[in-house]
Amino acid sequence: MSFDRLAPHYHWLETVGFGSILQKARIRWIEAVPLPKRVLTVGEGTGHFLGQFLRVHHDAMVDCVDASRRMLELARLHISGPVNRVRLFEEDLLSWTPPESYDLLVTNFVLDCFPQNELKLIVAKLAGAATPGAYWLLSDFCIPKTSFARTHAKIWVAALYWFFRTTTGIRAKRLVDPGPELQANGFICLKRSEWRLGLVKSELWHKPGQ
């Protein structure tokens, strides 16, 4: 799986397909998080979330993990303030081990790239790096339950999986809801917003402190 070839085109393709909706989903809850100190963002992509997050949370230290070197190069352009606020890791998420503990985890449109068996391992790994009382920002695609919205979402999701399997070689063939895995690792969903008839969602999760 590699997003290197797609990286230079990702932002305009996203804009053509979804306008500003995916960015709205990424940043929906960043002001609801109480002053994070150490943050892990996984599959950061082009850095549009990172840039906005750094402007809101001036004192946070951020680790960004992405398997694509070209995506990380784009993300670097969005770093504001002292450069030592952000560390970039070019790593395969399945084999990478988080070097710190984090009070905020961020997974924006990345968990849908993995089949269920890998998703379970990844969520457990990230949850293991969460401090007591940590928050988790999750944005992703979703299949609603109501009939028309469900049909609309299935068509879009099928097209997206075909495109990304063809261009990047992602291993997932269907959309798996990561919510049950977050719950199994001690997180509770506090807030949720939806766009495009429920196709796109943004959630704020919390791990109660011990």
Domains defined along the chain, listed by start: 7-206 (3.40.50.150)
- Rounded average pLDDT over 86-98: 94
Please check the confidence at residue 54 and state whether its pLDDT lies above 80.
yes
Please check whether residue 85 is in contact with residue 109, taking contact to mean a CB–CB distance below 8 angstroms.
no
Average pLDDT, the chain: 94
Which residues in 43-65 are b (16+ Cβ under 10 Å) and which e?
A: bbbbbbbbebbbeebeebbbbbb
Confidence of residue 145 (pLDDT cuts 50, 70, 90): confident
- Report the pLDDT value the prediction gives residue 2, as an integer from 0 to 100: 81
Q: Which amino acid would we find at residue 40?
A: L
Please check the confidence at residue 81 and state whether its pLDDT lies above 80.
no
Please check whether residue 111 is in contact with residue 185, taking contact to mean a CB–CB distance below 8 angstroms.
no
Please check whether residue 5 is in contact with residue 71, taking contact to mean a CB–CB distance below 8 angstroms.
no
Please check the confidence at residue 146 and state whether its pLDDT lies above 70.
yes
- Report the pLDDT value the prediction gives residue 144, as an integer from 0 to 100: 93
Do the bridges between strand 130-141 and strand 200-206 make them parallel or antiparallel, or are there none, so unpaired?
A: antiparallel
Least confident of 44-48, 53-57, 79-83: 79-83
Residue whose tokens read 């979330």: 49
Nearest CA-CA partner of 87 in 61, 51, 121, 59 = 61
Gap between the terminal Cα atoms of the chain: 38
- Report the pLDDT value the prediction gives residue 84, as an integer from 0 to 100: 86
- Report the pLDDT value the prediction gives residue 193, as an integer from 0 to 100: 98
Residue whose tokens read 């084999």: 95
Confidence of residue 1 (pLDDT cuts 50, 70, 90): confident
Confidence of residue 172 (pLDDT cuts 50, 70, 90): very high
- Report the pLDDT value the prediction gives residue 147, as an integer from 0 to 100: 83
- Report the pLDDT value the prediction gives residue 56, as an integer from 0 to 100: 95
Please check whether residue 153 is in contact with residue 95, taking contact to mean a CB–CB distance below 8 angstroms.
no
- Report the pLDDT value the prediction gives residue 140, as an integer from 0 to 100: 97
DSSP 8-state assignment for residue 76: H
- Report the pLDDT value the prediction gives residue 39, as an integer from 0 to 100: 98
Classify 73 in phi/psi space as left (phi over 0), alpha (psi -120 to 50) or beta.
alpha
Please check the confidence at residue 210 and state whether its pLDDT lies above 70.
no
Which pTM does this prediction carry?
0.95
Phi, psi of 204 (to 5 degrees): -115, 120
Which tokens belong to 136? Answer: 């988790």
Question: Among positive and negative, which fits the CA dihedral 183, 186, 192, 194?
Answer: negative
- Rounded average pLDDT over 58-77: 94
